[in-house]
Amino acid sequence: MLQLSLTLANDLYELLAISGEPVDFLKAARRLLALKEAPASLCREVMNSLVVEDGRFCWHSPQSLGLRDWQETDPDLKDVSFVVVDVETTGGRPGPAKITEIGAVRIEELRVVSTFHSLVNPQRPIPAKVIEITGITPDMVRDAPRIELLMPNLMEFMQNSVLVGHNAQFDLAFLNYELSRLDGRRLDEGAFDTLKLSRLLAPGLPNHQLSTVAGALGSRVDTFHRALADASATADIFLVLVGRLQERGITRLNQARSFADPLHKRDRHKLVLTRHLPRTPGAYLFRDENDEVLYVGKADRLRDRVRSYFISGPDHSRRVRQALRRLHRVDYVEATTPLEAIATEQDLILQHRPQCNTFGRNPERYVYLKAEGNRGLRLYTSPNPSARGATVVMGPFRGKGRVTGAIDLLTRCYPIRRCARNAGDPCLYGQTGRCLAPCVGQPDEIARHDALVYDLLRWLAGDLPQRFSQPDPPEAMALALTTKLARQSRFEEAAEIKKALDDTLALRRSCRAVMDGLRINTAALWPDYTDTIMPQAHISIVWEGSVVATLTVTESTAALEIGRFIRTLEPPTQPRFPVALPNTRLDSLLAIRRWLLENQTILRVPYSDSDPVSARESLDRWGENIMASALRLLTIHRPPSK
């Protein structure tokens, strides 16, 4: 019933938003319920329950429904209740990262009247870097309530208020993720972002980080990166900025919203372009009036995802906003499962090269890290994946700057070759001991030098050698060099080394992600009870990081279909150093890996060859496990027939 009411509420909101005017309750109810002859009493009961349960709706008249923000006059800012909210988290991405602390400050009549604060048990480790920033340790959250216990109290605290945050998109993304996961709700759009407001009303600041703005605008708070302290500082900032709005003659809520974001709701009328979209997995294409593909995306539920661009507010990337402004038509390609939708999306991006997509449209610009040279291996970048002339090829990588930064760091921290000299006298670096000078041609020095280069590349790939050729790994070497330069007051050089270290560690994470992706061999299963007489299971097979097939089976066909497919598979190969993929495969591999990491609750049957049996037997056993899982989905969890 909850999911049904949520679906009806969203459909009613879309109907009213598209119409832009009140709608007869009978017309609305019969359309949403798909019952042309539904009794008026039933229609009124259903519509009234939505009005009572969802604050977005109101009775415009005894016969018609409307949106509440149509009916309300534009209230004075001093009459509006605001709640400033801030969260601390274990990372930057909702889902993989979780909330560790919530702080909120309630403002009424432009005065702080109450606060809300609690630590949250994230039920996962807190990274050391996050502990360093926030000071929130595992011991502090061990006995803290879980988020599902806190959300009702937080929602009560925020009731009948307009939300405020500094970089509000971040905090609302985490809160909406948890709300959607727990009961399918989202916080209303229209939050004020003091980051954006401060750029408009305090433009002379060196930056608009919370601490900078708080200091400039006279906040009493001087400690940051804790939820309640940050919420209190943001509340101080907001009240000052409201004062500056009032000085400009902006005294009402919608006036302030229009000032803060003049593009807000501009594209809402384009909701009509989503009417034909199904609520199934797939990929969608935004086209302009010349039929050019502007943007390609994927969705677990096509209609809901595309609608969210127009309903959830303006917090999209610059390129997506550009696509929405030019949008004339939405096309789609259905997929059977969300994983199949990822593969479809990547194929469409490569086919159309849409100008508003960030990743995947120009894979030929990705670069490879190569090592070559007869007299000592030299590191360099190349857009060509060919190994011709190269001893080692790794990649591809999306950012040439990161690869160049990593090469710069390694050549500064270790005595490895950085020039392309032929045999002869050593260069300045070789003469001063900063390079082993393999170009001189001494076999022992060449072997020693190349062993070090191999060790560094294997470290970069996450394939650590048992014995490192140097006493310290690159992180320690870089930090030691940074400290030395800072003591010599060579701060710009120290900053360059710090930046190069960040590039190197990012490159290492990319290598690990590729290796992890190539090791993914699993089956993901979804039940489909649309047909209660003969329910189906949809099975996406991910093999060596690629979606190689999607099967749809019933109880009677599961054994045949799964067995037939398993017989077409060859045993997986384990990725080994060095790994060099085709540049067109990188984005799909990383997207599949990310989706699987973010959707841990989906039923999966991982392939395993750990048992001492032949590879063929391992595959057959895996097929049997997939079949058993599919049959459990189709029988044990089958909903009762109506």
Same domain, residue pair 103 and 250: yes
In a domain, 584, yes or no: yes
Asked whether the beta carbons of 84 and 237 are under 8 A apart, the reply is no
CB within 8 A of 556, min separation 6: which ones? none
CA distances 271 to 348, 566, 595, Å, are 23, 43, 27
- pLDDT at residue 354 above 70? yes
Residue 103 sits in a domain whose CATH number is: 3.30.420.10
The residue ranges of DSSP E strands in 261-372, in sequence order, are 282-287, 293-299, 329-334, 367-372
- Cα angle value 468/470/472 (rounded, 5°): 90
Out of 60, 117, 225, 538, pick the active-site residue.
225
In a domain, 640, yes or no: no
Q: Where among 71, 89, 115 does a domain terminate?
A: 71
**Structure tokens that stand for 249 in this block:** 């003659």
In a domain, 613, yes or no: yes
In a domain, 205, yes or no: yes
Asked whether the beta carbons of 340 and 217 are under 8 A apart, the reply is no
Residue 19 sits in a domain whose CATH number is: 1.10.10
CB within 8 A of 236, min separation 6: which ones? 214, 217, 218, 219, 220, 221
Same domain, residue pair 218 and 276: no
Q: Mind giving me the DSSP string for 551-579?
A: EEE-TTTHHHHHHHHHTTPPPPPPP-SS-
Torsion of CA 346, 348, 350, 355, to 10 degrees: -110
Residue 381 CA to residue 370 CA, distance in Å, equals 6
Same domain, residue pair 461 and 387: yes
Q: Where among 324, 339, 359 does a domain terminate?
A: 359
Query: pLDDT by residue (tens digit) across 539-581?
Result: 999 999 999 999 999 999 999 999 999 999 998 888 888 888 9
CA 623 and chain centroid, separation: 32
CA 186 and chain centroid, separation: 17
Please give the residue that has the higher pLDDT: either 597 or 310.
597
Asked whether the beta carbons of 461 and 394 are under 8 A apart, the reply is yes
**Structure tokens that stand for 261 in this block:** 């974001």
Per the annotation, the verdict on 60 as an active-site residue is no
In a domain, 136, yes or no: yes
In a domain, 298, yes or no: yes
Please state the pTM of the whole predicted model: 0.64
Number of domains in the chain: 5
Percent of the chain whose pLDDT exceeds 90: 43
Whose CA is closest to 368, among 398, 413, 408? 398
Same domain, residue pair 352 and 369: no
pLDDT band at 3 (very low <50, low <70, confident <90, very high): very low
**Average pLDDT value over all residues in the chain:** 85
In a domain, 641, yes or no: no
From the number of C-beta atoms within 10 Å of its C-beta (0-12, 13-18, 19+), residue 432 rates as exposed
Same domain, residue pair 177 and 278: no
Residue 299 sits in a domain whose CATH number is: 3.40.1440.10
Same domain, residue pair 354 and 442: no
- Cα angle value 116/50/30 (rounded, 5°): 160
Full strand arrangement of the beta sheet holding 23-24: 23-24, 64-67, 57-61
User: What pLDDT, on the 0 to 100 scale, is given for residue 221?
Assistant: 82
Same domain, residue pair 242 and 297: no
Please give the residue that has the higher pLDDT: either 422 or 105.
105
Q: Where among 331, 359, 387 does a domain terminate?
A: 359
CA distances 41 to 27, 33, 53, 54, 504, Å, are 13, 14, 18, 20, 67
Looking at residues 619-630, what average pLDDT do you find? 93
Looking at residues 117-141, what average pLDDT do you find? 93
Same domain, residue pair 571 and 626: yes
Looking at residues 618-636, what average pLDDT do you find? 90
Query: pLDDT by residue (tens digit) across 435-486?
Result: 665 666 677 777 887 888 888 888 888 876 555 556 677 888 888 888 888 8
Domain region containing 316: 270-359
Residue 521 CA to residue 268 CA, distance in Å, equals 42
CB within 8 A of 127, min separation 6: which ones? 90, 91
Same domain, residue pair 91 and 196: yes
In a domain, 265, yes or no: no
Same domain, residue pair 205 and 81: yes
Same domain, residue pair 157 and 108: yes
Same domain, residue pair 391 and 493: yes
